[in-house]
C-alpha cells in the first residue's frame, strides 16, 4: 500500500500541530494561571491575527474552486456548441453578443464577436427575413424560424430565434444541402406524378386490407368514371369476382416478394368487362402496400384467339375463299337428299300415319327432326360462306334503325313477350347495310332468345368512345354464360346451351365475327352467368353521326 | 282447254314427287306438266325438239322453275322466257333450296315473279300465286277465262 502525498502531508501537519499543541498548551495554561496581564494581551492580538489568516485562506480556496468550475462549464458549453453544426450566440436585450460559439465567429468573419452588436457582427442579415424573425422573437417573446437564401453567400440558411430571460438565443445553419435535396425530391416527385398522369396504363396501390391508397389517372380513365377510388376497397370497385381475381394471387407475391403477372377479366363500367394483363408487386414493407398495373389486352386476346382458330387470316384469305365456294356448292347438293328425308317423312306421316304405333310415329318424328336440324346447319354454313364472299358495299347505315326494325319483327312474331328495348335515337356508321342488318339481326336474336326467361327482359344498344375508337355495345340481361367457355363462341356451330333450353345451331356469332372482320373491326363478348351478356364491336373507320 | 295448267321444271325425282304430291293434294291445277331439264322446258314452251308441233300459244298458267338443272340452268331458261315475245309475261316462280340464296336476287333481276323455297308446300305455293294474281289456281276446277 503506497501512501499518497496528500495523506503524508496531512499526517505531517497533524504531527507538527499535535506536538506544538502539547508543548505550548501547557505553557500557555501555566502563564494564564500565573496571571501575567502582558501575556494575556499578547494572546488576544495573536488570536485576531490567526482569525484573519484563516478566513483569508478559506476565501482564497473558495474563489479558486469556483473559478475552476466556471471555466470548466464554459469550456463544456463551448465544446457542445462547437460540436454542433449550428452557429450559436446569446444576445442581451440591447442586441449585444454575450456569447458566441466558434461557428458564429466563423460566420461573422471576426475573431471574437462577443461584445459587438449582432447587426455589426452579421451585417448581411440586416433588412432580411432573418432580421424580421429575430426582432419578432426578441420583441414578442416566441420562437421564430426562417429558411431563406443568405444574401451574399449563395447558400440556404436556417435561422432560429429563441427568447431567453437575458435576451435572445440565436441559432443559424447552412441548410443548402437539405434544401437542394428537398427541392430535387419534390421535382422528382412532380416528374413522376406527371409521368403517371399521362401514362395510359391503369395503376393503383392498395394497403394490406385491399383498400386503394393511390390510383393513377390511367386508372380513372380505364375504370374510374366519376368515382374517386382512394379509400375504397377492391371489392367495392371491381365486384366480388374482380376482387378475387386481383387479390387471391397476392398471397404468392406476399410469399415470394416477386411480382406476379396474369391475365384477368375486370369490370370496366356498368355491365362491361375488359381483359387485362395484371401486374402485382410489393410497394412498401411496413405497413405493407401493394402495387397493381392493368394493361388492356382485349385486342391481343382477340388476335390470339383468332390466330389460334383460323391461322393467319391474310395468308389464309385465298384458302378461305375457296372454302366458302366449296361450302356453298356442297350445301346446295346436301339439301336435295334432306328435302327427300323431310318431305317423305311428312308424306309417310300424313298418308300412313295410322299404320304406325306410338313408337313408329316417334321414330318417324326423329327422322324428320334430324333432317330439319341438318338443314338448319347447312343454312348456317351457307350464310357464313356468303358473308365471306359477298362484296362490301360501304355506305351510311343507321344501326339504331336496323336494330329497331329487327326488334319490331321479333315482337310481332312473339306477341306475348314484354321486352324493354333501349336504343339510341340514331347511330350512323359507315358500313355495308346488308351485312350490318344481318349481324345486328343475329345479335338481337341472341339477346331476345337468351333473355326469354325473364319477365323484365331488357335489350340495350349503346355507344362507347372511351377507347378513342367508337364501339357499339349490345347488352341483354338474359341467362348469360360462364366466360371460361367464351373462347369457343365465335367459332361456327358452338353452343353453350342445350338445344332443349335454347334453340339454335350456333352460327350467329361466327357470322357476326366474319361481318365485323370484313369491316376491319373487332368484336368481343362478355357475360356473367345469370346476369346477362354484352357484345361489343367496333368497325374500321366507324364514325358517330 | 278450260282448265288450269302448270309447268314444273325439276330434275330431282324426290323433289318432283313431293311437289306433285303437295299440289295434287290440294287440287292445284288440272294439268301438271313436268320437264326434267332446262332444254326440255324450253322445248315444251316453244314447241321445239321433243315437243315439235306443240302450239306455243298454249302456255301454262304458271311455271315452277328449279334453278339447278342439267344441260341448261334455270336462270338460262328464265332469260329465254323473258327474251321471247310470246312468253314475256308468263308468270315464273323460281324454286330454290335456300331462302337466302343469291340466286333469288339474280332471278328477280332476270324477271322471276316470285320464289318458293323447296320442298314446295301448299302454303308457300298459295302465297306465291296470290302474289302473281292467279288466285283462281287455288280454286278447285275454277272456270278459266
What's the pLDDT at A307? 56
Q: In this complex, do A379 and B98 lie within 8 Å of one another by their Cβ atoms?
A: yes
Residues A339, B118: C-beta atoms closer than 8 Å:
yes
Question: Model pTM?
Answer: 0.45
C-alpha–C-alpha distance, residues A366 and A22, integer Å:
151
CA angle at A527 for the pair A521 and A531, rounded to the nearest 5°: 140
Q: Which residue of A lies nearest to B99 if distances are taken between CA atoms?
A: A379
Q: With an 8 Å Cβ cutoff, is B55 touching chain A?
A: no
The answer on pLDDT for A254 being more than 70 is yes
Closest residue in A to B102 (Cα–Cα): A386
Burial class, A510, CB count within 10 angstroms (exposed 0-12 / middle 13-18 / buried 19+):
buried
Neighbours of A279 (CB within 10 A): 17
Q: Is the pLDDT of residue B131 over 90?
A: no
**Grid cell at residue A276:** 387485362
Q: What is the pLDDT of residue B83?
A: 92
Q: CB A344 to CB B18 under 8 A?
A: yes
Question: Is pLDDT of A532 > 50?
Answer: yes
Residue of B73, B97, B100, B105 to mutate, interface with A, max A Cβ within 10 Å: B97
**A235 CB-near residues (< 8 Å, 6+ apart):** A210, A242, A243
Q: What is the pLDDT of residues B21-77, one digit of tens each?
A: 888 887 776 788 999 999 999 999 999 888 888 888 888 988 999 988 888 889 999
**What confidence category does residue B1 fall into, taking pLDDT thresholds of 50, 70 and 90?**
very low
ipTM of the complex: 0.73
pLDDT given at position A313 = 47
Distances (CA, A) of A143 to A136, A146, A170, A174, B125: 8, 10, 10, 19, 107
B2 in reach of chain A (CB within 8 A): no
| A141, pLDDT greater than 60 | yes
Euclidean distance between CA atoms A263 and A245, whole angstroms: 9
Q: Give the model confidence (pLDDT) of A263-295 as tens digits.
A: 888 888 766 778 888 889 988 888 889 999 988
As a whole number, the mean pLDDT across chain A is: 84
Contact status of B109 with chain A (Cβ, < 8 Å): no
* Distance separating alpha carbons of residues A465 and A221, to the nearest angstrom: 12
B73 touching A (Cβ < 8 Å): no
- All residues of chain A having their beta carbon less than 8 Å from the beta carbon of residue B102 are 386, 390
Whether residue A491 has pLDDT greater than 80:
no
Q: Of A393, A419, A387, A416, nearest to A406 (Cα)? A: A419
Question: Taking Cα atoms as reference points, which of B61, B16, B71, B86 lies closest to residue B41?
Answer: B71
Using the Cβ of B26 and the Cβ atoms of chain A, whether some distance falls under 8 Å is answered with: no
* Strand ranges (E), A153-269: 155-164, 167-174, 202-207, 212-215, 260-269
- pLDDT tens profile A8-42: 888 998 999 899 888 888 888 887 777 777 877 88
Are A331 and B98 inside 8 Å of each other by CB? Answer: yes
**Cβ contacts (< 8 Å) between A332 and chain B: which residues?**
68, 97-98
User: For residue A310, what pLDDT is reported?
Assistant: 43
pLDDT at B8 over 90: yes
Among the listed residues A110, A103, A106, the one whose alpha carbon sits nearest the alpha carbon of residue A171: A103
pLDDT of residue B135: 66
Query: What are the DSSP E strand ranges found in chain B?
Result: 5-9, 31-35, 62-66, 92-96, 114-117
Say which DSSP state A507 is in. Answer: -
Query: Residue A360 burial (CB < 10 Å; 0-12/13-18/19+)?
Result: middle
**Beta partners for A281?**
A291
The alpha-carbon gap from A374 to the nearest alpha carbon of chain B, in Å, equals 13
Nearest CA in chain A to B121: A343
pLDDT-above-90 percentage for chain A: 17
Please tell me the distance from the alpha carbon of residue A305 to that of residue A94, in angstroms, as a whole number. 87
Is the model's pLDDT at A524 over the cut of 60? Answer: yes
Whether pLDDT at A349 is above 70: yes
Contact A418, A410 (CB under 8 A): no
Q: Identify which has the larger pLDDT, A244 or B63.
A: B63
Contact call for A339 and B21, based on CB within 8 A? no
Where is average pLDDT lowest: A118-132, A220-234, A344-358, A423-437? A220-234
What pLDDT does residue A12 have?
92
Label residue A311 by pLDDT band (50, 70, 90).
very low
Mean pLDDT, residues A431-456: 90
Contact predicate A530/A451, CB 8 Å? no
Highest mean pLDDT among A467-481, B76-90, B127-141: B76-90
- pLDDT higher than threshold 60 for residue A405: yes
A484 grid coordinates: 371460361
How high is the mean pLDDT of chain B?
Answer: 82
Among residues B3, B4, B25, B5, the alpha carbon closest in space to that of B119 is found at B25
Distance from CA of A216 to the nearest CA of B (A): 52
Look at A169 and B28; give whichever has higher pLDDT.
Answer: A169
Q: Residue A447: CB partners within 8 Å, gap ≥ 6?
A: A459, A474, A475, A476, A478, A533
Q: How far B12 CA lies from chain A's nearest CA (Å)?
A: 8
Distance of residue B85 Cα from the nearest chain A Cα, in angstroms = 33
Residues 6+ apart with CB under 8 A from A395: A430, A431, A432, A433
Q: Does B97 touch chain A (CB under 8 A)?
A: yes
Buried b (16+ CB within 10 A) or exposed e, A261-274: eeebbbbbeebbbb
Spatial distance between the Cα atoms of A93 and A100, rounded to a whole number of angstroms: 15
Question: What are the grid coordinates assigned to B47, written together?
Answer: 314447241
pLDDT for B142 equals 43
Q: How far apart are CA A363 and CA B57, in angstroms?
A: 50
Kindly tell me if the per-residue pLDDT of A424 is higher than 80. Answer: yes
Contacts of A390 in chain B (CB under 8 A): 102
| A260-269 and A155-164 strand pairing | unpaired
Residue A545 confidence (pLDDT) above 60: no
Set of chain B residues whose Cβ sits within 8 Å of the Cβ of A441: none
- Say which residue, A493 or A119, is predicted with more confidence: A119
Testing the interface with B: which of A328, A329, A335 to mutate, by most B Cβ within 10 A? A335
Mean pLDDT of the A342-371 span: 89
Contacts of A453 (CB under 8 A, 6+ apart): A478, A479
Greater pLDDT, A300 or B138: A300
To the nearest whole angstrom, how far is the Cα of A326 from the nearest Cα of chain B? Answer: 15
* Structure-model confidence comparison of residues A272 and B95, the more confident one: B95
Task: Output the pLDDT for position A46.
Answer: 86
Higher pLDDT, A73 or A208: A208
Please indicate whether, in this complex, the C-beta atoms of B102 and A344 are within 8 angstroms of each other. Answer: no
At A163 the pLDDT is: 92
Q: Which residue of A has its CA nearest to B16?
A: A340
Mean pLDDT score, A80-96: 82
Calculated CA dihedral for residues A183, A184, A185, A190, nearest 10 degrees: 90
Closest by alpha carbon to A384, among A494, A502, A495, A508? A508
Strand, coil or helix: A258:
coil
Q: What is the 3-state secondary structure (H, E, C) of B62-92?
A: EEEEECCCCCCCHHHHHHHHHHCHHHCCCCE
Do residue B97 and residue A347 have CB atoms under 8 angstroms apart? no
The chain B residue lying nearest A372, using CA atoms, is: B119
Work out the burial of residue A389: count CB atoms within 10 Å of its CB; fewer than 13 is exposed, 13-18 middle, 19 or more buried: middle
Q: List beta partners, residue A295.
A: A277
Q: Taking CA atoms, what residue in B is nearest to A378?
A: B98
Query: Does B30 contact A at CB distance below 8 Å?
Result: no
Amino acid at each position: 500500500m503506497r501512501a499518497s502525498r496528500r495523506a503524508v502531508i496531512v499526517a505531517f501537519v497533524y504531527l507538527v500541530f499535535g506536538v506544538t499543541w502539547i508543548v505550548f498548551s501547557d505553557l500557555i495554561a501555566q502563564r494564564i494561571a500565573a496571571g501575567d496581564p502582558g501575556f494575556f494581551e499578547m494572546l488576544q492580538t495573536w488570536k485576531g491575527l490567526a482569525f484573519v489568516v484563516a478566513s483569508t485562506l478559506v476565501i482564497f480556496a473558495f474563489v479558486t474552486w469556483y473559478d475552476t468550475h466556471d471555466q470548466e462549464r464554459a469550456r463544456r458549453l463551448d465544446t457542445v456548441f462547437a460540436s454542433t453544426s449550428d452557429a450559436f450566440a446569446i444576445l442581451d436585450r440591447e442586441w449585444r453578443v454575450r456569447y458566441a460559439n466558434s461557428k458564429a465567429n466563423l460566420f461573422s468573419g471576426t475573431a471574437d464577436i462577443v461584445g459587438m452588436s449582432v447587426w455589426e457582427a452579421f451585417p448581411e442579415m440586416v433588412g432580411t427575413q432573418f432580421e424580421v424573425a429575430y426582432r419578432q422573437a426578441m420583441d414578442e417573446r416566441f420562437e421564430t424560424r426562417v429558411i431563406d437564401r443568405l444574401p451574399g453567400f449563395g447558400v440556404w440558411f436556417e435561422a432560429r430565434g429563441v427568447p431567453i430571460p437575458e435576451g435572445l438565443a440565436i441559432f443559424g445553419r447552412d441548410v443548402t444541402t437539405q434544401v437542394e435535396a428537398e427541392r430535387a425530391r419534390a421535382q422528382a416527385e412532380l416528374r413522376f406524378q406527371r409521368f403517371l398522369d399521362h401514362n395510359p396504363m391503369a395503376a393503383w396501390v392498395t394497403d394490406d386490407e385491399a383498400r386503394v391508397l393511390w390510383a393513377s389517372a390511367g386508372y380513372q380513365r380505364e375504370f374510374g368514371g366519376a368515382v374517386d377510388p382512394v379509400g375504397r376497397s377492391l371489392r367495392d370497385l371491381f365486384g366480388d369476382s374482380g376482387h378475387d381475381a386481383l387479390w387471391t394471387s397476392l398471397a404468392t407475391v406476399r410469399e415470394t416478394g416477386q411480382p406476379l403477372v396474369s391475365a384477368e377479366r375486370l369490370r370496366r363500367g356498368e355491365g362491361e368487362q375488359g381483359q387485362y394483363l395484371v401486374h402485382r408487386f410489393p410497394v412498401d414493407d411496413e405497413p405493407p402496400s401493394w402495387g397493381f398495373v392493368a394493361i388492356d389486352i382485349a385486342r391481343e386476346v382477340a388476335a390470339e384467339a383468332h390466330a389460334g382458330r383460323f391461322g393467319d387470316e391474310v395468308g389464309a384469305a385465298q384458302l378461305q375463299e375457296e372454302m366458302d365456294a366449296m361450302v356453298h356448292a356442297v350445301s346446295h347438293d346436301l339439301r336435295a337428299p334432306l328435302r327427300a328425308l323431310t318431305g317423305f317423312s311428312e308424306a309417310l306421316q300424313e298418308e300412313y300415319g295410322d299404320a304406325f304405333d306410338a313408337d313408329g310415329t316417334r321414330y318417324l318424328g326423329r327422322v324428320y327432326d334430324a333432317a330439319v336440324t341438318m338443314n338448319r346447319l347447312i343454312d348456317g354454313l351457307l350464310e357464313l360462306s356468303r358473308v365471306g364472299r359477298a362484296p362490301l358495299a360501304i355506305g351510311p347505315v343507321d344501326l339504331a334503325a336496323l336494330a329497331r326494325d329487327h326488334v319490331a319483327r321479333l315482337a310481332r312474331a312473339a306477341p306475348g313477350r314484354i321486352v324493354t328495348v333501349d336504343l339510341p335515337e340514331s347511330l350512323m356508321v359507315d358500313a355495308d347495310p346488308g351485312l350490318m342488318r344481318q349481324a345486328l339481326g343475329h345479335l338481337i336474336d341472341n339477346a331476345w332468345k337468351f333473355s326469354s326467361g325473364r319477365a323484365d327482359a331488357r335489350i340495350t344498344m349503346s355507344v362507347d368512345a372511351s377507347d378513342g375508337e367508337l364501339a357499339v355495345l349490345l347488352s341483354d340481361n338474359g341467362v348469360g354464360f360462364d366466360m371460361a367457355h367464351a373462347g369457343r363462341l365465335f367459332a361456327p356451330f358452338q353452343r353453350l346451351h342445350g338445344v332443349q333450353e335454347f334453340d339454335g345451331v350456333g352460327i350467329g356469332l361466327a357470322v357476326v365475327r366474319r361481318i365485323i372482320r370484313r369491316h376491319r373491326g373487332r368484336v368481343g363478348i362478355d357475360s356473367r352467368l345469370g346476369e346477362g351478356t354484352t357484345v361489343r364491336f367496333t368497325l374500321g373507320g366507324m364514325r358517330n353521326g | 282447254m278450260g282448265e288450269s295448267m302448270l309447268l314444273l321444271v325439276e330434275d330431282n325425282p324426290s323433289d318432283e314427287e313431293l311437289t306433285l304430291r303437295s299440289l295434287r293434294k290440294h287440287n292445284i291445277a288440272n294439268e301438271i306438266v313436268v320437264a326434267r331439264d332446262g332444254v326440255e322446258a324450253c322445248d315444251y314452251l316453244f314447241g321445239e325438239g321433243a315437243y315439235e308441233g306443240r302450239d306455243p300459244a298454249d302456255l301454262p298458267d304458271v311455271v315452277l322453275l328449279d334453278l339447278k338443272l342439267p344441260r341448261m340452268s334455270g336462270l338460262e331458261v328464265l332469260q329465254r322466257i323473258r327474251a321471247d315475245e310470246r312468253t314475256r309475261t308468263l308468270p315464273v316462280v323460281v324454286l330454290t333450296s335456300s331462302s337466302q340464296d343469291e340466286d333469288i336476287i339474280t332471278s328477280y333481276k332476270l324477271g322471276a315473279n316470285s320464289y318458293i323455297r323447296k320442298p314446295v308446300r301448299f302454303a308457300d305455293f298459295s302465297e306465291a300465286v296470290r302474289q302473281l294474281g292467279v288466285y283462281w289456281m287455288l280454286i278447285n276446277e275454277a272456270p278459266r277465262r
